[in-house]
Amino acid sequence: MKIEILDATEEHIGFITKYSVDYISDGLLFDLTPEKRALLRSKMIQKIKYCNKKIAVNADNPKEFLGFIVYEDNVMPLVHILYVKKKFQNAKIGTTLLAEAVRNNEPIIVVPFKSPSFHGFLKKLNIKPLVRFYEFLRS
């Protein structure tokens, strides 16, 4: 399958925002009070608006959504979230999306939380994750 990387459209941004906020605030962070969780969700929604958002689609069928990446172009790239649909996770889609965010073959990227699967993925690519917890809370 040939993969095409595109800028996320309004059609995709709603899903990207909801998935990212739900995954990080509800799925990863268990030690938050309801007030802190609500603050984190609010800050994440605002932050995602200004981040780069790319989607991966099937080049032969652009309506077939395969995954996405949310990142910031900084001196050291900051990857907030990388998502690939389960059935496409061994098709180099994550690698292709990550290459969009890490254009200069950076050996280190900043990530906002620990994720064993994502860190394992980065290790295979010889990229070291520099964890900066709650990066979404920074303005």
Number of domains the chain is built from = 1
Q: Is the pLDDT of residue 54 over 60?
A: yes
Q: Is the pLDDT of residue 137 over 70?
A: no
- Give the DSSP letter string of 16-72: HHHHHHHIIIIII--S--HHHHHHHHHHHHHHHHHSEEEEEEETTEEEEEEEEEEEE
The model's confidence at residue 30, banded by pLDDT at 50, 70 and 90, is low
Higher per-residue confidence, 7 vs 81: 7
Q: Is the pLDDT of residue 138 over 70?
A: no
Per-residue pLDDT at 87:
93
Q: What is the pTM of this model?
A: 0.82
Give the domain CATH number at 61.
3.40.630.30
Q: Print the domain residue range for 22.
A: 3-137
The model's confidence at residue 110, banded by pLDDT at 50, 70 and 90, is confident
Average pLDDT score over residue span 100-111: 76
The model's confidence at residue 134, banded by pLDDT at 50, 70 and 90, is low
Per-residue pLDDT at 19:
84
Q: State how far the Cα of 73 lies from the Cα of 56, in Å rounded to an integer.
A: 18
Q: Is the pLDDT of residue 58 over 90?
A: yes
